[in-house]
Amino acid sequence: MFIRGLNAIYAQAHKVEDHQLAMIHHHHTIEEELLFPFFESKLGTDSMHDNFEQHNVFKAGLQDLETYLKGVQAGTLTYSGALVVEKLDNFADGLVEHLHEVKELPTLEASKMQAAFTKQDLKDLESALGKRILKEVSLTTVLPLGLVLHDKATAPQFPPLPRIILWIAQYGLYYLHSDAWDFGPCDVYGRLKPGLGNDESAKDK
């Protein structure tokens, strides 16, 4: 879904807000602060080292673009679609490679997971992850953005949140910033829309 979001930015850089960057930053912060330490506690110290290092490849560029867009939002900087694309180019390769990367899969290969974790361990992780998402994710911006970036056909159970929260997001919170979500590559129900990056490739990704 992040790659779909990048494609939408490339396709529509003349009008874009900073919510996408905040969401990507939050996703990888959760990985570094919650998921990776949890896995290392069972799989061994430094077992997630390569995954941490991948984040360093694109983190600086992501923060640079986020800082720029916040300056635009605050009125201290002038928006330029060309500059957005230029800044995006500085880290898009590393980010997309990370999102496509298969290194995390060998790290969490099924036999290793079964040997290291109990079902209760994973249930506890799921619970902790859900609580953190509800605590830190903006229900009026990041959650609706997640809905309009996600192709429901690829993962029907995503996002892993209570149905009542999703219902409120789809039928209420979404409309607070519906003008922004018009640029999303999917509608609020996770159905792909023509164009809007779906027919484009972020640097052929």
- Structure token digits, residue 22: 């905040």
Identify which of 194, 187, 185 has the alpha carbon closest to the alpha carbon of residue 2.
185
- Collect contacts of 122-128 with beta carbons under 8 A, ≥24 apart: 125/35, 125/38, 126/160, 128/34, 128/38
Q: Which two structure tokens, joined as six digits, stand for 41?
A: 């506690």
More confident residue, 112 or 37: 112
Give tens-digit pLDDT for 13-41: 765 454 444 544 444 455 545 454 545 55
Segment 177-201 mean pLDDT: 75
Give the tokens for residue 134: 């509800």
CA proximity to 31, closest of 117, 103, 112: 103
For the segment 138-184, what is each residue's pLDDT rounded down to a tens digit? 778 878 888 888 888 888 888 877 888 889 988 888 888 777 777 78
**Has residue 45 got a pLDDT over 70?**
no
Taking the CA atoms of 196, 199, 204 and 205 in sequence, report the sign of the dihedral they define.
positive
Tell whether omega for the bond before 144 is within 30 degrees of 0, i.e. cis.
no
- Give the DSSP per-residue string, 99-124: HH-STHHHHT-HHHHHHH--HHHHHH
Provide the pLDDT for residue 127.
78
DSSP 201: -
Pull the structure tokens for residue 63. 């923060």
pLDDT tier at 52 (50, 70, 90 boundaries)? low
Give me the phi and psi of 192, to 5 degrees please.
-60, 140
